[in-house]
Amino acid sequence: MKGLRLTIARQTVSSILDTLGDDDFFNIIAYNQEIHYVEPCLNGTLVRADRTNKDHFREHLDKLFAKGIGLLGDALTEAFMILSDFNQTGRGSVCSQAIMLVTDGATEMYDDVFEKYNWPERKVRLFPYLIGRESAFADNLKWMACANKGYFSQISTLADVQENVMRYLHVMSRPKVIDHEHDTVWTEAYVDSALNDKSGPTLTTTVAMPVFSTKNETKNQGILLGVVGTDIPLQELMKLIPKHMLGIHGYAFAITNNGYILIHPDLRPLYQEGQKRRKPNYSSVDLSEVEWEDKDGILRNAMVNRRTGTFSMEVKKTVDRGVSLNTSHCMKKWLVMKILLG
């Protein structure tokens, strides 16, 4: 795979990354005579598909080059083993699992690999993308897709990348559409310049859900018509909080279902000079970086799992008000806080 085909392959992988969000986990494996991870520090695991991780992997895509003959069977085996391990240990999203195969050919069908790791349950879908105009290997890749509940696509030019990549989403969403699972999604906080007030741009979130076809003749086909959503300024959400329950020194905050800060008194998304300039990673600040718990994950896990009720816990708070100091010169005090969840 050289020249234009390698360029198309890189763009295909980048476009696939664009379809992933914070609820997804991924990794990228390159293979020739041997398999190697695009990011060597993340061997054998999956990482959250947030903006920082996706940008980091894109930087490594430019370093890929063709060398020798690709051992596709070994690469597929490695991919199945990663997904199986992640599924069994419950370390990430296990709703749907897929392998996206970007290749310029497959001389075999690798049914022995599928029989060992994916059949008969077929829990992992396979989506082969054949790069180039040649169709000599198309039959093998089509069979691999059909045998593993996936979809085959052939990409001949850069202009074909976006359209062909998006097709896998219809296949992945079909079971949810048929079962009418109306998943509600809240986005990360973003700056809406159209809602400026006296203090500067307004932080906003969007809530969205899918719209399905309910016609009798199409209800078993799983047709996703589109997505409906609305924008909600975060200050409107804050108005719903019963302030009389917070106490004198109390404050309220909210996080996404991935543990990222949505609203918090210590969140400073904009630079002091020039209020319209936002910090690049303000939307990926984890709760554990702001609320320093004495025991790891008690509060964060409770909120991510949507527990309700009250409990008391110890947290650490520095007296430097956010200025980073050496711990040997920084006094710390312990507070006991009562936190309302739900």
The DSSP code sequence of 17-78 is HHT--TT-EE--EEESSSEEESSGGGTT--EE--HHHHHHHHHHHTT----S---HHHHHHH
Mean pLDDT, residues 132-160 taken together: 95
Mean pLDDT, residues 76-83 taken together: 95
For 305, residues 6+ apart whose C-beta sits below 8 A from its C-beta are: none
Q: What local confidence, expressed as pLDDT, does residue 123 receive?
A: 92
Choose between 264 and 331: higher pLDDT: 264
User: Computed from CA positions of residues 86, 92, 98, 99, in that sequence, does the dihedral angle turn out positive or negative?
Assistant: negative
Whether 178 and 218 have beta carbons less than 8 Å apart is answered as no
Q: Measuring CA to CA, how many Å separate 233 from each of 22, 38, 83, 246, 268?
A: 21, 39, 38, 22, 16
For 125, residues 6+ apart whose C-beta sits below 8 A from its C-beta are: 96, 97, 98, 99, 148, 149, 150, 171, 172
Q: What tens digit of pLDDT does each residue of 183-197 get?
A: 788 888 888 777 666
Measured in whole angstroms, the distance separating CA 269 from the mean position of its chain's CA atoms is 21
Res. 216 pLDDT band, cuts 50 70 90: confident
Q: What local confidence, expressed as pLDDT, does residue 55 receive?
A: 92
Domain 3-179: state its class: alpha beta
Q: What local confidence, expressed as pLDDT, does residue 81 receive?
A: 95
28-37, 161-170, 214-223, 296-305: which has the minimum mean pLDDT?
214-223
Q: Is the pLDDT of residue 67 over 90?
A: no
Q: What local confidence, expressed as pLDDT, does residue 157 receive?
A: 95
Q: What tens digit of pLDDT does each residue of 260-301 get?
A: 888 888 887 777 655 556 677 777 788 888 887 767 778 888
Q: Is the pLDDT of residue 326 over 70?
A: no
pTM for this prediction: 0.79
Mean pLDDT of the chain: 82
Choose between 160 and 330: higher pLDDT: 160
Q: What local confidence, expressed as pLDDT, does residue 340 receive?
A: 38
Q: Is the pLDDT of residue 105 over 80?
A: yes
36-50, 155-169, 220-234: which has the minimum mean pLDDT?
220-234
Choose between 191 and 71: higher pLDDT: 71
Whether 114 and 150 have beta carbons less than 8 Å apart is answered as no
Q: In this structure, what are the phi and psi dihedrals at residue 244, rounded to the nearest 5 degrees?
A: -70, -15
Q: Is the pLDDT of residue 63 over 60?
A: yes
Choose between 136 and 147: higher pLDDT: 147
Amino acid at 204: T
| C-alpha span between 121 and 130 (Å, rounded) | 25
| C-alpha span between 227 and 218 (Å, rounded) | 18
Whether 220 and 152 have beta carbons less than 8 Å apart is answered as no
Q: Measuring CA to CA, how many Å separate 165 from each of 33, 39, 148, 224?
A: 27, 23, 18, 17
Q: Where in the chain is the domain with CATH 3.40.50.410?
A: 3-179
Write out the two tokens for 50.
């947030």
Q: What local confidence, expressed as pLDDT, does residue 258 receive?
A: 81
Q: What local confidence, expressed as pLDDT, does residue 319 receive?
A: 56
Q: Is the pLDDT of residue 156 over 80?
A: yes
Mean pLDDT, residues 54-70 taken together: 86
Q: Is the pLDDT of residue 324 over 80?
A: no
Choose between 227 and 268: higher pLDDT: 227
Q: What local confidence, expressed as pLDDT, does residue 329 receive?
A: 30
Mean pLDDT, residues 130-154 taken together: 95
